[in-house]
Structure 1
Amino acid sequence: MSGRALLMWDEAVTKYDFGAGHPMDPVRLALTMGLVRAYGLDRAVDVVAGKPAGESTLRLVHREDYVAAVRSASANPRDADQAYGLGTMDDPAFAGMHEVSATIAGQSVGAAEAVWRGEAPHAVNFAGGLHHAMPGSASGFCIYNDASLAIARLLELGAERVAYVDVDVHHGDGVQAAFWDDPRVLTISLHEHPRMLFPGTGWPEETGGPGAGEGSAVNVALPAGTGDEGWLRAFHAVVPELLADFRPQVLVTQHGADTHFEDPLAHLAVSLDAQRLVQEACHSLAHEYVDGGRWVALGGGGYAVVDVVPRSWTHLVGIAAHAPVDPESVIPSSWRDEVYARTRQLGPGRMTDGRTPAWRPWEDGYDPADRLDQAVLATRRAVFPLRGLLA
């Protein structure tokens, strides 16, 4: 193992473009890589372009008829079959859709392979984290579910325990569905309450398939308006104890930046500074509970494409590289010039929102009148006893 993290990057991923006006603007990927370079982080990691996922790899999760439908829509977007979720408002078909989606999937699969084989302790694919795609349909801006494919590849290589932690504001429904009955995979999702937000799933009572799958799915449904203190309290009240019990051989995490208070598609109020603390926590948990610290970190949602996403995921790359970016640092003017040239917007000036997040540990006591505490307790009561843990 070289000791250097991998950053999976191929300029082709910026072709994942649903068209003008769609929230999933690929400029967020270009600007993130630009900020990574501006801070010199591309010299602190090994930058690698993985191979696009081939048919046999895609079939680890996705149905043959669905892959064929994506290929067809990619060649003839006007003929996209909406029965497969293609050609819809959320997932418009576009030329080359299959190729770029397979490229993104291949980056995450390549990251998982490298970490499993000991070629690197950590790997980041911030273009990935497309967690809504189902085995037989596109959903929520996601064509191929690269997170599920990475996990399935790890299982194929012999992994017996893989943990998936998803802190996107939306429920990680596609990954949960892919491994609903599989006790080898523990899926944990912290997200805005399904009453308030797409995809309408992720209730605490969703705990895995009957029999062997029971207790393999964990969902924390956060009240709208949850800010730094509550978000961090919920994370630390659930995730570390479960990972300590499960002892995964690989930790896969999804870091959608759409929990941020500036994000236009959701209703949480989390700062960049709290996002960075959760990234640091995932890194620490990998070193504490995973052999060799094997950690695959993915991007995900995030629609404040200038002010939030590039800063959040640049922090993620720095943390994985063991070269964290100083939150108080002034962002290089070269990157702000790039922002203006690409978007005609002014970029942020520092790598912080100016917050110093703190949270009250769960062990300090439960407040029955607090909606956040009610949500955490609902999750613990639903799933912890199934795993032999105290709620």
Structure 2
Amino acid sequence: MTQNNQQLWSSLMTAALVIGTLATSSSGQASVAGTADNDSDANVAIAESAPNHIANDGVTTESLTIASTEDVVKVGEYHSRTSIELSQSEAIARILPHQLDDRQAATLYIRDIPVITFLAPLDEGGSATRDDASADVKVSGSQESVVLAQASASSGVDDYAQDPVWRATAIAANLNQLYRSGVDPSSITAIWDDEGDRLVIQVGDRELIEINDITILPDTTRNPAEDALQATNRLRRLLGGAEPLGEVYGLPAPEPAPRSSYDVVLRTLSGMASWYGPGFHGNYSASGEIFDQNAMTAAHPSLPFGTQVRVTNLDTGLSVVVRINDRGPYAHGRVIDLSAGAAQVIGLVSSGVAPVSLDVLGNN
């Protein structure tokens, strides 16, 4: 087992042993019914048969608490030797199992804000995988119950490590423990791991989660580095109000864009830029083209269609060359509206708007 899988597995074992113990006493399934109490959700503490360790300062955990509130599962750990109910105010992490693009998924919420979505991996043919041996957390909103189906006794580490609900459960339990222990939110950072070529959110010098193609921002930017940064900043804010970070530490500089054949700067403009894409993708642009939000294009109020413009984000220093194929923007003070793809290149997606300089290019 790799070092990365060991950390995830230590968290997953807390949930796995709980479900195994629960299922033995109830022929494979146990139902935890919600209460009609208006003041709090149902809170049920399920004691483990043996202590386990989660990757957080070597804390021994004796129980896993799961509380249901309609469609959401709340997960928390206790390091007391007594089975104690976890109050709603203490359990800040919640899990919502759902489907996303025909894939099993689970979204982790902190204080009702979606922070990270876990996806089932795709097989080699690009289809969503579904392992019957994986453990499911199914939530019935109408009955306010949580049904935990036991994993097969033959299931191994990889079975659980690939299941989005189990992965979300492990991280939620870890976050609840960090919150109760008074974690310093400013210690939560996003880094680039050179050795593994991967993006990691960590607490202090300890890894919390890896951001990749199956672990994404719920409202993903389709840029893993941007997803990692935004998820990190949400955790920093929600776990204690720390200031947002401006970058992923150690992230390699992007490769320079190929030189354009349009090297002569005809004129230079400046102002605020915005971006667009979702909701317009696939529609006709003002030039008559089908708008592709991933293409390097932009809308400008008056430049001729086909004009090449170098756009430089003055906040990040990043540049991209775009082709004008649409009209806009129509908001006061904005000089250009970039496609989503072009906005990603210069780091404009997260801010929404940014000051830019525009170099209108001509043939050399």
* Bin of the TM-score, shorter chain as denominator length: under 0.3
Relative to the length of structure 2, the TM-score reads 0.25
RCO higher in 1 or 2 (8 Å CA, sep ≥ 6)?
1
Between Structure 1 and Structure 2, the one with more strand by share is 2
Between Structure 1 and Structure 2, the one with more helix by share is 1
